[in-house]
């Protein structure tokens, strides 16, 4: 019992969970993107500001190095009227400015440089100023040629190395920015892939749940059809039994009573009150017998079993016209073929219910009936020009539901539609292969 209950459990909770997961994934992704973009914007702003300041310091350092290079070029020129010692003040000023710029640039560069790079830079700067001090020492001792050779050999190389290191610092700063963007982009792609996987899994679960729902609905529909077929078969069997009982038992009893009353009346004196009473009772019995036969035919027309659908409708339509007071216009078209008995019962019941609705609900005094035989189908159409129907009430009508069930049982389609000019049209169409007695 527990397994059956679990297999029939409604998937609503699962579907709601899947919807919540999907929405949560979308919201989480949207929040993550928003946070990342905000962080990236802030980081970009900070990086831009810091890199701008760092670039200014790098430019300052580079200008100082260029000034040193120009000064050394002039110092190497022997035609200059100034001695080498005259450049001491300028080099002191550049030394102070360069040290200040390098310290500021180092604080702004941060993680853009490795400890090895910082050590190399500080050693290169220290070596450069040592070489400058030795060069000025040689110049003060009157050794200008040796001082100029010191400028040519060591100081020029040191300046070039510092300029190369400065350019590397700028390239590292740009690479750091690109690395940050790549990292954020990679994280976004990973989160997007995870979100898409969650959505795909949720969608697959929803598809599986929907398939289970439709399979269950199909199973219930099949069970309902089977139940409807059994109920209709049981109903027809009960009506057939009651019809035969009425026709055979009560019909025979009333026929015997009528015969006995007729014989008794012959023995009574002509014109006597007894003979008149017996004749009246005989008429009542005959009227009751006629009513029972009519009721028996209405419950289950024996004529269907004996003569088929076409002959039954030829008898039934005028009969119901007399009983209800409707003017029924009946027309048959096409080459007729014998209709299988069980299918004929369902067609007869559909017509019976349609005419009952015309009589009780339409307010019309006329109705038109067409029975059309075609090479591939059989059609029954009933039309009236009354006040029509209300769709909401039509969906709840037991009789209309039974008509549809009977149409499905014989593989047909039932269409009930309003007429544009007023009234209702009922159209039953069945494939010939489903009802042809010769082909069954």
* Statement to judge: residues 202 and 315 lie in one domain: no
Residue 106 lies in a domain: yes
Q: Can you tell me whether residue 142 is helix, strand or coil? A: coil
Residue showing tokens 């047909």: 412
Report the pLDDT averaged over residues 176-185.
70
Report the pLDDT averaged over residues 356-372.
90
- Enter the pTM of the model: 0.51
Structure tokens at 295: 């009721």
* Statement to judge: residues 202 and 326 lie in one domain: no
Residue 248 lies in a domain: no
Burial class (CB in 10 A: 0-12, 13-18, 19+), 91: buried
Report the pLDDT averaged over residues 150-163.
61
Query: Last residue of some domain: 211, 236, 269?
Result: 211
| CATH for 334 | 3.30.565.10
Q: Can you tell me whether residue 419 is helix, strand or coil? A: coil
Q: Can you tell me whether residue 328 is helix, strand or coil? A: strand
* Statement to judge: residues 64 and 207 lie in one domain: yes
Residue 90 sits in which domain range?
A: 2-211
333 phi-psi bin (left φ>0, alpha ψ -120 to 50, beta other)? beta
Residue 433 CB partners (closer than 8 Å, separation 6+): 439
Residue 13 lies in a domain: yes
- What is the band of 23 on the pLDDT scale with cuts at 50, 70, 90? confident
Query: Last residue of some domain: 211, 237, 255?
Result: 211
Angle formed at CA 289 by CA 285 and CA 292, multiple of 5 degrees: 135
Determine the pLDDT at residue 429.
Answer: 94
Structure tokens at 338: 């014998």
Least confident of 148-162, 213-227, 318-332, 353-367: 148-162
Task: List b or e across 256-273, with b for residues whose CB sees 16 or more CB atoms inside 10 angstroms.
Answer: ebbeebeeebeeeeeeee
Residue 378 lies in a domain: yes
Query: Last residue of some domain: 196, 211, 226?
Result: 211
Q: Determine the Cα–Cα distance for residues 12 and 19; give it in Å rounded to an integer.
A: 10
CA dihedral 158, 159, 165, 167 (to 10 degrees): -160
- What is the band of 4 on the pLDDT scale with cuts at 50, 70, 90? very low
Could you tell me if 375 and 336 are in contact, meaning their C-beta atoms sit under 8 angstroms apart? no
CA–CA distance from 434 to each of 220, 310, 372 (Å)? Answer: 24, 16, 15
Residue 87 lies in a domain: yes
Residue 284 lies in a domain: no
* Statement to judge: residues 30 and 162 lie in one domain: yes
Residues 370-426 have pLDDT tens digits of 999 999 999 999 999 888 766 555 555 677 888 888 888 888 999 988 887 888 999
- What is the band of 272 on the pLDDT scale with cuts at 50, 70, 90? confident
Residue 291 lies in a domain: no
* Statement to judge: residues 19 and 160 lie in one domain: yes
Counting the structural domains of the chain, the total is 2
Q: Can you tell me whether residue 415 is helix, strand or coil? A: strand
Q: What distance separates the 2 farthest-apart alpha carbons in the chain?
A: 185
* Statement to judge: residues 9 and 148 lie in one domain: yes
Residue 290 lies in a domain: no
């Amino acid at each position: 019992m527990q397994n059956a209950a679990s297999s029939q459990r409604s998937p609503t909770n699962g579907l709601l969970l899947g919807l919540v997961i999907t929405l949560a994934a979308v919201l989480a992704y949207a929040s993550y993107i928003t946070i990342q973009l905000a962080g990236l914007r802030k980081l970009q702003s900070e990086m831009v500001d810091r890199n701008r300041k760092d670039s200014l310091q790098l430019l300052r350092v580079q200008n100082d190095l260029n000034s040193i290079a120009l000064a050394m070029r002039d110092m190497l020129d022997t035609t200059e009227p100034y001695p080498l010692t005259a450049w001491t003040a300028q080099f002191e000023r550049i030394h102070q400015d360069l040290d200040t710029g390098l310290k500021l640039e180092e604080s702004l560069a941060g993680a853009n440089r490795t400890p090895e790079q910082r050590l190399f830079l500080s050693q290169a700067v220290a070596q450069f100023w040592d070489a400058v001090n030795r060069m000025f020492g040689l110049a003060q001792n009157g050794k200008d040629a040796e001082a100029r050779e010191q400028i040519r050999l060591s100081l020029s190389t040191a300046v070039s190395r510092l300029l190369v290191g400065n350019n590397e610092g700028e390239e590292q700063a740009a690479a750091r920015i690109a690395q940050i963007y790549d990292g954020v982009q990679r994280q976004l792609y990973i989160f997007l892939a995870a979100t898409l996987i969650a959505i795909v899994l949720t969608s697959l679960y929803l598809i599986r749940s929907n398939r289970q729902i439709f399979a269950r609905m199909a199973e219930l529909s099949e069970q309902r059809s089977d139940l409807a077929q059994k109920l209709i078969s049981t109903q027809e069997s009960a009506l057939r039994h009651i019809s035969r009982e009425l026709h055979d038992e009560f019909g025979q009893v009333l026929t015997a009573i009528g015969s006995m009353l007729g014989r008794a009346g012959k023995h009574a004196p002509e014109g006597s009150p007894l003979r008149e009473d017996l004749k009246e009772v005989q008429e009542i019995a005959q009227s009751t017998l006629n009513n029972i036969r009519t009721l028996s035919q209405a419950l289950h027309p024996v004529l269907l079993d004996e003569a088929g659908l076409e002959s039954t409708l030829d008898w039934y339509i005028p009969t119901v016209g007399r009983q209800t007071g409707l003017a029924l216009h009946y027309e048959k078209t096409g080459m007729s073929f014998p209709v299988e008995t069980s299918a004929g019962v369902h067609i007869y019941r559909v017509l019976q219910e349609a005419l009952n609705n015309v009589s009780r609900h339409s307010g019309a005094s006329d109705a038109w009936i067409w029975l059309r035989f075609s090479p591939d189908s059989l059609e029954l159409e009933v039309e009236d020009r009354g006040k029509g129907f209300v769709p909401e009430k039509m969906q709840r009508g037991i009789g209309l539901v039974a008509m549809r069930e009977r149409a499905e049982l014989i593989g047909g389609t039932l269409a009930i539609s309003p007429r544009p000019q007023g009234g209702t049209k009922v159209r039953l169409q069945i494939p010939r292969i489903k009802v042809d007695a010769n082909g069954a």
